[in-house]
Amino acid sequence: MMLEELRSLAEVITPGDDDWETARHSHAGPTEPDMIVRARSVSDVAAAVQHAVRSGLPIAVRGGGHSAWGSVPGGVLVDLSPLDDITITGTTAHLGGGATWGAVASALAEHDLGISAGDTASVGVGGLTLGGGIGWMVRAWGLAADQLVGVQLVTATGDILEVSARSHPELFWALRGGGGNFGIVTRFDFAAHPLPAVVFATFEVDGDPRAALRALRDLMREAPRDVTATYMDVPPIDPSAPAGVTISACVIGDDAEHARRTLAPLRTVDGMKVTDIGVRPYRDILLEAPPADPDAPMPGFIGGNTLVRELDDALIDDLAGFREAYPMSVLFLRTLGGAFSDVAQADSAFPARDAEFFVMAGVFDIPGMPGAPARDVVEQQWDAIEARGHGIYGNFSVSVEPSFAKKVYPPEIRARLAAVKRDWDPQNLFSRNHNVQPT
C-alpha cells in the first residue's frame, strides 16, 4: 500500500503538514515518526497496519500519550485518540481504544458504576490495561486487566478479531498484562462495578517516615479490601505535588464513618494528622497531568519499581534511607493484596500476584545541579532494593531498552508470551513496547 493509497483511506499526517507540530506532541513529549495515522475507525487502524507491513516500518500506538515509547523516532504512529467512544450496556462498559480514564469515570458515574483504573485522568485506557493497570480499587476489584471481558483487536496482518476468554483464550490471557505486543486494541469491554462514590482521605506525616510506613503496612494487612492506600514522599520539584510525606486512602462507598474507623490506627502515629477526608465522586480523585512543555522537558530518573511480597522492617529502613540520602528523590508505595491476589499467577501475564506492595523510588537526574549524585552509585543502591522484589510493573517504567521485558516478566511468563507472539506477530511488527520476542 503506497502512501497515497493510505491517505485515501485514513487521515495521515507527515512532516511539513499543517497539523504536524500539534500532532507529534503528547504528554510524554515530542516524537519524530515517519508518519502519524489519526485513526477514526477500526478500518483506519487496519489500513495503517497493512501500510506498515508493506513498507517495512515498525508501529507505535498512542492512546492517552503518556508512554515513553512514543519518543522512539521513525515508524508509523497510530493515534487512537479519536476512537474515544464510551458505551454502557447494563454493567458492561465498551470503551474505544483512545478513551481516557477521566472521561470513562465521568461516563460511568452517570450509572453509579466504576472500573479500577489508573490515577491520572488523561491516561489512556489502552496502555494502562494492556500493561495490567494498578489503580485505586486494586484491592477490591483487581487490576484494570482483571476486569476486562473482551476486546476488538487489529492483528499484525490487518485482520480484525473479537477476542475473549472463549474465542481466543491464550491471546486473551496475553493481552491482560502482556502489553502492546500482540496487536492494536480498538475497543475494550469491561465488567464495571457498582460505585456511588468514594471516601478519600489524606494524611500528612510530620515525623518518622519509618513509623508511618510500618503503621500503613500493619493497617493494610487487616483492612477490608474496599480500602486501597498510597504513601508518597516527594521533593519540592512539582507545584502540583506538594513536597513532603503524605498517605492517601480511597475507600469504596459513601460511608465516611466507616472510612474513619478503618483508618483510625494511622491517627495514633506521632506526627500524623488528617488534612482531608470526605465523600467524593471517583472522577474527582483522579489527577490532572499538564501537557508536556517542550521547552521544559521532564528530568531523567535514576531508579525504578518493584513488586514486593513482604514490606518488612528492613526494607522499610532501606527505602526511607534511600529517600533521605538524596534530596531530589521520590518514594511511592501502593498497597496490593485483596482481589489483586485472588487471581492465580497462571491466569494472567502480570507478575507477582502475591505481592503486598508496589514500590517505586528514584532520583531525578537534573544536569548541572550542585551535589547531584553519581548515577552508578544510585543505580547500585536501587538495584539492591529491586532485587528484594519479584517483578516489575512495566507501566511505571520509562525505559525504552529493547531487553527490558526480561525484567518485567519472569522467565515462565515471558516464555508463554513469546509463544503467543510467535502465533500472532511472528515478524515482531509491534515492537514499540516492553517487547517480547517471538519464539
pLDDT 10s digits, 48-64: 999 999 999 999 999 99
Helix/strand/coil for 239: coil
Cα–Cα distance between 299 and 235 in angstroms, integer?
A: 13
Query: Quick check: 370 pLDDT over 70?
Result: no
| pLDDT per residue as tens digits for the range 227-237 | 999 999 999 87
The percentage of residues in the chain with a pLDDT greater than 70, rounded to a whole number, is 96
- Kindly give the interhelix angle for 313-325 and 375-386, rounded to the nearest 10 degrees: 160
Which cell is 305 given? 519499581
* 439, amino acid identity: T
Query: Quick check: 344 pLDDT over 90?
Result: yes
How high is the pLDDT of residue 152?
Answer: 98
The percentage of residues in the chain with a pLDDT greater than 90, rounded to a whole number, is 85
Query: Quick check: 394 pLDDT over 60?
Result: yes
The chain-wide mean pLDDT, for the chain, equals: 94
| pLDDT per residue as tens digits for the range 6-30 | 999 999 999 999 999 999 999 888 8
Contact between 36 and 23 (Cβ < 8 Å)? yes
DSSP state of 54: H
Helix (H) or strand (E) holding 252: strand 244-252
In sequence order, the β-bridge partners of residue 114 are 193
Lowest mean pLDDT across 71-80, 289-298, 401-410: 289-298
Mean pLDDT of 168-197: 98
* 39, 63, 67, 68 from 26: Cα distances, Å: 16, 10, 9, 10
| pLDDT per residue as tens digits for the range 110-166 | 999 999 998 999 999 999 999 999 999 999 999 999 999 999 999 999 999 999 999
How high is the pLDDT of residue 297?
Answer: 67
Q: How confident is the model at residue 402 (pLDDT cuts 50, 70, 90)?
A: confident
Q: How confident is the model at residue 71 (pLDDT cuts 50, 70, 90)?
A: confident
Q: How confident is the model at residue 368 (pLDDT cuts 50, 70, 90)?
A: low
Greatest CA span in the chain, whole angstroms?
Answer: 68
How high is the pLDDT of residue 384?
Answer: 96
Q: How confident is the model at residue 3 (pLDDT cuts 50, 70, 90)?
A: confident
Chain mean position to CA 57: 26
Domains in the chain with CATH codes: 3-79 (3.30.43.10), 86-194+414-424 (3.30.465.10), 198-393 (3.40.462.20)
Cα–Cα distance between 45 and 161 in angstroms, integer?
A: 13
Q: Across 375-418, where does the E strand assignment appear?
A: none
Start-to-end CA distance of the chain, whole Å, equals 28
Cβ count near 230 (within 10 Å): 17
Cα–Cα distance between 12 and 1 in angstroms, integer?
A: 13
| pLDDT per residue as tens digits for the range 196-250 | 999 999 999 998 999 999 999 999 999 999 999 999 999 987 665 678 999 999 9
Which cell is 238 given? 512539582
Query: Quick check: 369 pLDDT over 80?
Result: no
Query: Quick check: 107 pLDDT over 90?
Result: yes
Q: How confident is the model at residue 181 (pLDDT cuts 50, 70, 90)?
A: very high
* 38, 127, 338 from 97: Cα distances, Å: 12, 9, 28
Which cell is 417 given? 508470551
How high is the pLDDT of residue 371?
Answer: 64
* 214, 237, 264, 276 from 260: Cα distances, Å: 19, 31, 6, 11
How high is the pLDDT of residue 439?
Answer: 87
Mean pLDDT of 32-57: 97
Contacts of 112 (CB under 8 A, 6+ apart): 194, 195, 196
Cα–Cα distance between 268 and 215 in angstroms, integer?
A: 9
